[in-house]
Amino acid sequence: MENHFEDVTGVRASLSDVNYLADDGIAGIVYLAERLGKPILVEGPAGTGKTQLAKSVAEMTDARLIRLQCYEGLDESKALYEWNYKKQLLRIQAEGAGDWNEIEDDIFSEDFLLTRPLLEAIRAEDRVVLLIDEVDRVEVETEALLLEILSDYQVSIPELGTVEANQVPLVFLTSNATRELSEALKRRCLYLYIDYPDLEREREIVLSKVPEIDENLADQVARIVRSIRQLDLKKSPSVSETLDWARTLVLLGISKVDADTATETVNILLKYRTDIEKAIKEFADSPDGLSDEEE
């Protein structure tokens, strides 16, 4: 497969063309992943653009996104492939008393195979990006299903043999770190931590995702969110919450956020009652900076 990516700057620019605002770390690791043919494991707080990154990379490379959403209890038959038992049974019944070896060969052929996302990605003829979303939700033992694909880009099906990828697809795994992933999995991946964006990047994200907003308001939004994130909160506002807030402000026709507006709308940014109270208190009186280090 030819390299798409010239250099890190190029990746960053192309991502920004599809409205994904990356920093040097993000762009650098995407670039490297393609060069090295390695999957990327993306971790970070909720709503910082982990899933979106895979989608945007697919868009920018004109690739089809294949997504495996992980959940507890996910197994081989949902992740890799499954034999179509019903169809197999029908075939066996239809045959009656045929030659068993022949039937067996037949029912374990491609026609009876139900392809699930991982196998689909491996067998794709077109260009694909594989997203294995929220991988921390599957049990540790289930991770084993992924290992062969992640290191060799192939799937072994006992009845059929080994299916190798036609091309090395870009693979993204995301995790909210509700548990440690296995060393085996981590070793196979490049690691990317996406943190909350800095002021400039958040402003750019707002401008690009909420095009109706004017620059001053976007700047204010990013600043206020930055200040709020410095508080000692149970849950800091995510980028999606920043975007929701920005959209709300635009809908309300607000051109400049003052303390009252912030107080009235802060429930869009923060979800816990105690966090909301804390923020409101900070908006109201603020003699010496948003410092929260003291106990």
Partner 1 sequence: MTVTEPELENSPLLELLGGFIIELREAGLPVSLTENLDAMEAVTHIPLEDRESFKYALGATLVKNHTHWKAFEVVFEVYFSMRGEEYIIGSEAEGEFSGEDQEGDESALPGQGQPQGGGGGMQSLTPEQLAEMLFKALLNGDMAMLSALARQAVLRFAGMEPGRPVGGTYYLYRTLRNLDLDGVLEKLMEETKSQTSQPMSQFEERLERDEFLDRIEKLKAEVEAEIRRRLVADRGVEAMARTLRKPLPEDVDFMHASREEMSELRKAIYPLTRKLAVRLARKRRHGRKGPLDFRNTIRHSLSYGGVPAEPKFRFPRPAKPEIMVVADISGSVASFARFTLHLVYAISNQFSKVRSFVFIDGLDEVTRFFEGVEDIGEAVHRVNTEADVVWVDGHSDYGHAFDVFWEKFGRDLNPKTTVLILGDARNNYHASQAWIIQEMKKKARKVYWLNPEPRAYWDTGDSIVGEYTTHTDGCYEVRNLRQLESFVEKLV
- Where does this chain bind partner 1 (CB under 8 A)? 7-8, 24-25, 28-29, 31-32, 35-36, 38, 40-41, 43-44, 72, 77, 85, 139, 177-180, 183, 186-187, 189-193, 199, 220, 223-224, 226-227, 230, 232, 234, 258-259, 262, 272-274, 282-286, 288-291, 293, 295
Which is nearer to Mg ion, 107 or 197 (by Cβ)? 197
Return the residue of 240, 261, 263, 265 that touches ligand ATP, per CB under 6 A. 240
Taking residue 160's Cβ as centre, other Cβ atoms within 10 Å add up to 13
Find out whether 207 and 249 touch, Cβ atoms under 8 Å.
no
Which tokens sit at 92?
């066996």
CA distance readout (Å), 256 to 213, 216, 279: 11, 8, 18
Of these, 8, 43, 48, 78, which contacts ligand ATP (CB under 6 A)? 48
Cβ closest to partner 1, residue 8 vs residue 66: 8
Sort strands 170-175 and 128-133 into parallel, antiparallel or unpaired: parallel
CA dihedral 204, 49, 226, 223 (to 10 degrees): 20
46 Cα distance to chain centroid:
10
Q: Show the site string, 24-63: x = touches Mg ion by CB under 5 A, - = not.
A: ---------------------------x------------
| Shortest Å distance, C-beta 179 to partner 1 | 5
Chain Cα centroid distance, residue 228: 25
What minimum distance in Å lies between the beta carbon of 215 and Mg ion? 29
Residue 20 interacting with ligand ATP (CB under 6 A): yes
State both tokens at 73. 């209890």
The least CB distance from residue 128 to partner 1, in Å, is 22
- Choosing among partner 1, ligand ATP, Mg ion, none, which partner's interface includes residue 289 (Cβ < 5 to 8 Å by kind)? partner 1
CB of 51 or CB of 166, closer to Mg ion: 51
Can you tell me the distance from the alpha carbon of 155 to that of 137, in angstroms, rounded to the nearest whole number? 22
Contact (CB, 8 A) for 204 and 22 = no
Point out which residues bind Mg ion (CB under 5 A).
51
